[in-house]
């Protein structure tokens, strides 16, 4: 059983079919730096997927943004709703943000969608 502040492999969206399901069936939450797709699936557990296109920046920028998104998820995992699949798409505005700004933007967005408690 993973701890509250871990990000186990079982909670990662890795298959393209899961990403497509989120894009087509998910509730879309939008802010300036991120777009989140939330699919509520009873009994499926919590999962996260990150999408950062080449338009956002080079490999260093894209990997940094993915680390920021995963870290924000990891730290706020105990407060997230159960049984959700969450796909976070980074926009170009996110490339200029530091970690604190990214985490705050994601938290605001998830609270707006009633995914994050507290």
Cα separation, 81 vs 32, whole angstroms: 23
Residues 6+ apart with CB under 8 A from 45: 10, 11, 82, 83
Name residue 87's beta-bridge partners: 37, 49
Helix or strand run (H / E) with residue 104:
helix 99-112
**CA–CA separation, 37 and 30 (whole Å):** 9
In tens, the pLDDT along 34-73 reads 999 999 988 888 999 999 999 999 999 999 999 999 999 9
Domains, the chain, ordered by start:
18-112 (3.30.230.10)
Q: What is the pLDDT of residues 99-117, one digit of tens each?
A: 999 999 999 999 998 998 8
Contact 79, 46 (CB under 8 A): no
Residue 1 has pLDDT above 70, yes or no: no
């Amino acid at each position: 059983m993973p701890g509250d502040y871990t990000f186990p492999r079982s909670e990662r969206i890795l298959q393209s079919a899961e990403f497509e399901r989120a894009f087509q069936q998910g509730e879309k939450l939008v802010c300036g730096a991120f777009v989140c797709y939330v699919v509520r699936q009873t009994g499926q557990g919590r999962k996260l997927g990150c999408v950062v296109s080449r338009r956002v920046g080079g490999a260093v920028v894209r990997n940094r943004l993915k680390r920021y998104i995963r870290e924000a998820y990891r730290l706020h995992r105990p407060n997230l709703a159960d049984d959700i699949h969450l796909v976070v798409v980074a926009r170009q505005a996110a490339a200029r943000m530091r970690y604190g700004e990214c985490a705050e933007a994601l938290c605001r967005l998830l609270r707006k969608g009633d995914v994050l408690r507290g």
